[in-house]
Amino acid sequence: MGRSASVGVLLALLVLLLPLTAFAADLIALTGRVVDNAGIIDAATKAALTQKLADFEQKGSDQIVVATIPSLDGEEIEPYANRLFRFWKLGQAKENNGVLLLVAPNDRRMRIEVGYGLEGTLTDLHTKLIIENDMVPAFRAGDFSGGISKAVDDMIMVLEGNPEELEARGKRNEQAPFNPDDLFFSIFIAVWITILVLSLA
């Protein structure tokens, strides 16, 4: 292979690799147990979460880290969370017992990334319940700090071997609550139909 051909191949490789390098550079730095790059967690909650996560990690070997970023810049949250989890090397390498709670508020996306070693304890069902019942309602009300704090409490509860309360709460939430507006609407429609039928009689 001539010199010009070799240079061409190298340039082609650089062109292919540069986007990957830039892509990986978007990953944020691990600066603590709570990395609030989006600025959505108040100072008091951040301090309380940091202490709570440190105490939890000291009890055993499992590790939970909370991260927020303003936006995913078009990337899906699942691959980003997976890349960030591996980049930060959460949990013990042999145990693979880390958990990442990631929130991207501008995209309205959130994810709980669980290491292989904890998937049998903190299951997909549990993470779904935590996101839907803890985080989504609080975030809709503008309470990011409260939603994240509650999610962390429930993750710790499950990882400590007490998932029953979370599961029971999820079943209760599946039952649609009584809505008086629905009853009013139904009565209104029934009355309107009755009046219409009588007027045509």
Mean local confidence (pLDDT), 156-170: 93
Give me the domains of the chain, ranges plus CATH numbers: 26-174 (3.10.310.50)
The better pLDDT of the pair 69, 185 is held by 69
The better pLDDT of the pair 177, 98 is held by 98
Residue 185: per-residue pLDDT: 46
- pLDDT tens digits, one per residue of 125-161: 999 999 999 999 999 999 999 999 999 999 999 999 9
Strand pairing report for 98-104 and 109-114: antiparallel
Name the CA radius of gyration of the chain, rounded: 24
Q: What is the DSSP string of 58-99?
A: HHSS-EEEEEE-S--TT--HHHHHHHHHHHHT-S-TTTT-EE
Residue 172: per-residue pLDDT: 83
Token pair recorded at residue 162: 């007490």
Residue 19: per-residue pLDDT: 47
Mean local confidence (pLDDT), 24-43: 91
Angle CA 112–114–116, to nearest 5: 165
Residue 3: per-residue pLDDT: 52
**Cβ within 8 Å of residue 73, ≥6 positions away:** 26
Q: How many whole angstroms from its chain centre is CA 29?
A: 18
Mean local confidence (pLDDT), 84-113: 96
Q: How many C-beta atoms surround the C-beta of residue 72 within 10 A?
A: 17
Token pair recorded at residue 174: 């599946």
Task: Give the side-chain half-sphere CA count within 13 A for 67.
Answer: 25
Q: Which residues of 17-56 are buried (b: 16+ CB within 10 A; e: fewer)?
A: eeeeeeeeeeeeeeeebbbbebebbeeebbebbeebbeeb
